[in-house]
Amino acid sequence: MSKSDGIQILPVTVEDAKELLSIYAYYVKETAISFEYEVPTTEEFAERIRTISAKYPYLKAVQDGDIVGYAYANTFKGRAAYDWSVETTIYLRPNERRKGVGTALYQELESRLKRIGILNANACIAVPSGENSPYVSEESMHFHKAMGYSLVGRFHCSGSKFGQWFDMIWMEKMLGNHEENPVSVSFGKWN
């Protein structure tokens, strides 16, 4: 457990599904940050938590007893040679942005990823395709840059939502040294 400025960073449990889903639903219904069109059911979301947290860190930020955000890592690609790479994800309640919650979550996420042997953190981020959009901005890109991520690629007009096309950028952060014969990742031992 990590504690910073009244924020506790704790492992997510399946019992948190409903509260986490209340955060995620905003991003599905109101933004192009998530490319899902329909909000998953609580049962579907609980299964996602169960599956991801069996292997990778899945963390929540708790303040005054309420979950104000969450972050997790998941499989980057399904082949064994990619074991040392993950895709990171973060969602905050909209009124919690720019208050240090995201930074606290990502710092703890990265710490736990390093402990299990992950070397590459990758973030897939939706951004406007040319013009400004009311559904997505470059805010997540700037957050990741401040966290030490570098832009490595841009896919143009990758997703369509709300009658607009959105680009997808990939950013990466190296979490450790890349030895010739790396130690196996300790999947599921992040707690």
The 8-class DSSP code of residue 153 comes to E
| φ, ψ of residue 38 in degrees (nearest 5) | -115, 140
Q: What pLDDT does residue 97 have?
A: 87
pLDDT digits (tens, 9 = 90+) for 58-106: 999 999 999 999 999 999 999 999 999 999 999 999 998 888 999 999 9
The answer to whether residue 181 sits within a structural domain is no
The answer to whether residue 185 sits within a structural domain is no
Percent above pLDDT 90 for the chain? 93
* Token pair listed for 112: 């736990």
Q: What pLDDT does residue 167 have?
A: 97
Could you list the residue range(s) of the whole structural domain that residue 15 is in? Answer: 2-174
Q: What pLDDT does residue 6 have?
A: 85
- Residue ranges for the chain with pLDDT beneath 70: 1-5
Inter-residue contact 78 to 87 (CB < 8 Å): no
The total of structural domains in the chain comes to 1
**CATH number of the domain residue 142 falls in:** 3.40.630.30
Q: What pLDDT does residue 88 have?
A: 98
Give the Å distances, CA to CA, from 10 to 57, 96, 105.
10, 17, 9
Q: What pLDDT does residue 98 have?
A: 85
The answer to whether residue 179 sits within a structural domain is no
The answer to whether residue 184 sits within a structural domain is no
Q: What pLDDT does residue 4 have?
A: 55
